[in-house]
Amino acid sequence: MNVLDVPYFLRDLVVLALMNGGITVLYRSKEQLYRALGFPEFKRSIQSLFIAFTLVAVAQVFGVISRTDVLLKYHPTLTAIRSVILVIGALLFFAAVFLLYLPFAKGTFKVIKIATEVSGEIKHSAYGGDRNLCYSVFKEYVHRIPGMAITRLPPKVLREQLGLEKIPVLWLSKVSDEGAVHPTRLPYLQHIIGQFLMESDLDKVVLLDGIEYLMLENDRKAVLKFITNLRDMAELYRGLLIVPYDRESLDPKDVAFLESELRNVEELQGSS
């Protein structure tokens, strides 16, 4: 096989690879998307996108072939078919965007933020202290308000230890696992926790366990800044951030900083 037009051949290969990536992502996540986007128009939008990506991928296969001497005598036919497929694909992309817009235009879909009134019983802030006490307080709160946990323990172990089933748990680990987050991804962790705190106007509780491990894998100042950022978000967005730590495992300067930035978790005992 000889390539007749190298730049266009490479272009079509790249577009083909991108289309295949889009097809793979949509196929793997379609069930989650269907659940998250319950309106029929949204489902049809996803289906239109999937078909559009598939058609463009097929068109790019024809494009790649037409840049070589394979089936040379059929090149004009392949080019004509490719053009028709690309037009159909473009129409489907437009249809997908239109179907996303349609529920809003018709007024049949509205985003209503879930909210409750602030009771004043919960002092939104960050709290730290003894690990067992933090676990106990978190367990009490998470039975009455939404919660999530970030921990060094595997999710199954933490849930068994605290008697929990439903709450989302992120595992601080370098292993390749669906629920694992690499300990050096502090910005990503901050984004995930911030998103959880901001998504609804409700009281929420977050367990941030594994500070010692984070300091081992990151610059200690970056970890301390990470904690103060999360404390500020907790105070702004009706959150309780609970940070267990072992005084004996940390530098005395870090312990002093944590004690100055975090309220004592004992304040939450009895109020939960």
Pick the CATH number of 125-268 from 3.40.50.2000, 3.40.50.300, 3.40.50.2300, 3.90.105.10: 3.40.50.300
- Which amino acid does the sequence have at 226? F
**pLDDT above 60: residue 272:** no
Summarize the confidence of residues 109-127 as an average pLDDT.
73
Residue that the structure tokens 């696992």 belong to: 177
Task: State residue 121's pLDDT score.
Answer: 73
Task: State residue 26's pLDDT score.
Answer: 83
Q: Over the range 134-143, which residues count as b (16 or more CB within 10 Å of their CB) and which as e? A: bbbbbbebbe
Torsion over CA of 51, 55, 60 and 66, rounded to 10 degrees?
A: 170
- What percent of the chain stands above pLDDT 90? 53
Name which residue leads in pLDDT, 127 or 103.
Answer: 127
**pLDDT above 70: residue 67:** yes
**pLDDT above 80: residue 39:** no
Tell me if 86 sits within 8 A of 21, measured CB to CB.
no
In tens, the pLDDT along 217-262 reads 999 999 999 999 999 999 999 999 999 999 998 999 999 999 999 9
Name which residue leads in pLDDT, 54 or 30.
Answer: 54
Summarize the confidence of residues 26-36 as an average pLDDT.
77
Task: State residue 72's pLDDT score.
Answer: 73
Bridge partners for 214 per DSSP: none
Alpha-carbon span 183 to 67, nearest angstrom: 46
Alpha-carbon span 142 to 159, nearest angstrom: 12
Summarize the confidence of residues 90-115 as an average pLDDT.
74
Q: Which of 65-69, 117-121, 189-193 has the highest average model confidence (pLDDT)?
A: 189-193
**pLDDT above 60: residue 89:** yes
Q: Is the pTM of this model over 0.85?
A: no
Task: State residue 140's pLDDT score.
Answer: 92
Alpha-carbon span 78 to 74, nearest angstrom: 6
Task: State residue 250's pLDDT score.
Answer: 92
Task: State residue 228's pLDDT score.
Answer: 96
**pLDDT above 90: residue 176:** no
Torsional sign, CA 220, 224, 225, 230: positive
Backbone angles phi, psi at 164, to 5 degrees: -115, 155
How high does pLDDT run on average in the chain? 87
Domain ranges of the chain: 6-106, 125-268
Name which residue leads in pLDDT, 122 or 115.
Answer: 122
Task: State residue 252's pLDDT score.
Answer: 93
pLDDT band at 203 (very low <50, low <70, confident <90, very high): very high
Task: State residue 33's pLDDT score.
Answer: 75
CA nearest neighbour of 206 among 228, 166, 234? 234
